[in-house]
Amino acid sequence: MKILVTGGLGFIGSHTVVALLEKDYEVIIIDNLSNTSIDVLEGITRITGKTPEFHQIDIRNKSALSRFFDEQPDIEGIIHFAAFKAVGESVEKPLDYYENNVAALVYLLKESCKLNQPKFIFSSSCTVYGQAEKLPITEDAPVQKANSPYGNTKQIDEEIIQDFINSGANLQAISLRYFNPIGAHPTALIGELPIGVPQNLVPFVAQTAARKREVLSVFGDDYPTEDGTCIRDYIHVMDLAEVHVIALEKLIEKDYSKPYDVFNVGTGKGNSVLDVVKTFEKVNNLKVPHKIVDRRPGDVTAAYADTTKVESVLGWKAQRTMADALKDAWRWEQKQQ
Ligand code: WQD
């Protein structure tokens, strides 16, 4: 079965490609390499012994995308990762985010009409909930006004997919609302490649441990939580990769007829920023210099998933712990120069 993975050389995309190849799917990757490196393809090959077909295509380029789909009529599934994902950057460059995360999705869905009953998995985010009233967060928690253009693009994308399906499109879709993906493949052959100063917590912690960063700034310890720092649901990227394959297989199942569904994907456990720092230090037997600074605008106090639906409908539960992910993240960081 031929599966297109857009953004397939990115952090979550590359780990999902590995999971697909290990289940003997035929994978085609398109990626514009704007936020990754072609070396990731070698990492995938070394892990799986297979080299997926790769095309350097920018999904904002309508004609290139159209030519690609004209040559690939037998694609049966699309897993769409290609998007910009930095919350802070989206505030500075909103039009880039609406073009790449929204307009390009429209082009992709239009091209999907050339396929026969394609299955579509969309990479969404718990950001759509903002600060949820109730924790843990279920899928019927209200989608709140986004705190950033990035979060808004994910909300708009989900609506575009639903409207497209409601219009009678021959496409079935599942949106996966990720919580906080962390870690790396245990071989350390692929992992998170933040370009420039990491925006996310775990890559910054790892680079501080590697003395690439002098000190980790903890953005606020005056939140209404046990230790005053924000709480998130940190999920191992390999667990996240595996649920994409399970979601795709659910869409392929004969007796599954739902045109569209949404799943929260997390571990169901919340950990604070200081929990992450302390666990990273403990499992890797090192120190991470850190200091408390002001809150980061836009941060929510706490977000962690209610995993009832993904467990009962997809039969999936995270297998790896945050400690596993922080060990893998450090092993990966030590491989970087
Ligand atoms: C986690 C916690 C920070 C950096 C975002 C997106 C989400 C997804 C993951 C794409 C927060 C604190 C962070 C630092 C810190 N993006 N922190 N010092 O903001 O929960 O989620 O990234 O898939 O959609 O919204 O993740 O890792 O940036 O922050 O104290 O140097 O760590 O304040 O509490 P976030 P994050």
In a domain, 303, yes or no: yes
209 and 120 fall within a common domain: no
Cα 199 to ligand 1 centre (Å): 7
CATH number, domain containing residue 112: 3.40.50.720
Instruction: State the residue range of the domain holding 122.
Output: 2-182+235-265
pTM score, whole prediction: 0.97
Q: Which atom of ligand 1 is nearest to the CA of 204?
A: 31
Tracing tokens 């390999």 back to the chain, one arrives at 238
Tell me if 75 is assigned to some domain.
yes
| Residue 136, domain member (yes or no) | yes
- Has residue 113 been placed in a domain? yes
Q: What angle do CA 15, 243, 160 make, to 5 degrees?
A: 95
Q: Which token pair is 318? A: 């995270």
| Closest atom of ligand 1 to CA, residue 85 | 10
Verify that 9 and 82 share a domain, yes or no: yes
Residue 187 lies in a domain: no
Q: Residue 125 and residue 180: Cα distance in Å, rounded?
A: 9
Residues 207 and 101 in one domain: no
Verify that 35 and 169 share a domain, yes or no: yes
Q: Rounded to the nearest whole angstrom, what is the distance from the C-alpha of residue 234 to the centroid of ligand 1?
A: 10
User: Are 113 and 147 in the same domain?
Assistant: yes
- How many domains does the chain contain in total? 2
Looking at the structure, tell me whether residues 76 and 219 fall in a common domain.
Answer: no
218 close to ligand 1 (CB < 6 Angstrom): yes
Nearest-atom index, ligand 1, CA of 126: 24
**In Å, how far are 52, 77, 248, 311 from 3, measured between CA atoms?**
10, 5, 10, 24
Do 168 and 89 sit in the same domain of this protein? yes
Catalytic residues: 150
* Ligand 1 center to 310 CA (angstroms): 23
d(C-alpha 240, C-alpha 235), whole Å: 7
Residue 194 lies in a domain: no
Q: Which of 97, 200, 264 to mutate to test the pocket of ligand 1 (most atoms within 8 A of CB)?
A: 200
E strand intervals along 249-321:
260-265, 271-272, 290-293
Q: Is the CB of 87 under 6 A from ligand 1?
A: yes
Average pLDDT along the chain, 337 residues, taken 10 residues at a time: 97 98 98 95 98 98 98 97 92 96 98 96 95 96 91 97 97 98 98 90 98 98 98 98 98 90 98 98 98 93 98 98 98 93
Q: What CATH code is carried by the domain that includes residue 316?
A: 3.90.25.10
Residues 138 and 11 reside in one and the same domain:
yes
250 and 122 part of one domain = yes
Is there an atom of ligand 1 within 6 Å of 301 CB?
A: no
The protein residue whose alpha carbon is closest to atom 18 in ligand 1 is 218
Residues 226 and 244 reside in one and the same domain: no
H/E element holding 174? Answer: strand 172-178
Instruction: Please tell me if the CB atom of residue 180 comes closer than 6 angstroms to any atom of ligand 1.
Output: yes
* Tokens describing residue 239: 């667990």
Q: Given this model, what pLDDT does residue 159 score?
A: 98
CA of 217 to the centre of ligand 1 (A): 12
67, containing H or E segment: helix 62-70
What does the alpha-carbon distance between residue 85 and residue 182 come to, in Å, rounded to a whole number? 14
pLDDT at 195: 82
The total of other beta-carbon atoms located within 10 Å of residue 214's CB is 8
The predicted structure's pLDDT at residue 129: 93
Let me know if residue 223 belongs to a domain.
Answer: yes
Let me know if residue 289 belongs to a domain: yes
**pLDDT at 245 (0 to 100):** 98
Q: With H, G, I as helix, E, B as strand and everything else as coil, classify residue 92.
A: helix
Asked if residue 75 and residue 46 are part of one domain, the reply reads: yes
**H helical segments located in 37-188:** 39-48, 62-70, 87-92, 94-98, 104-112, 149-166
331 and 317 part of one domain: yes
Cα–Cα distance for residue pair 145/41, rounded to 1 Å = 37
Cβ(302) – ligand 1 distance below 6 Å: no
Q: Tell me how far the alpha carbon of residue 303 lies from the centroid of ligand 1, in angstroms.
A: 11
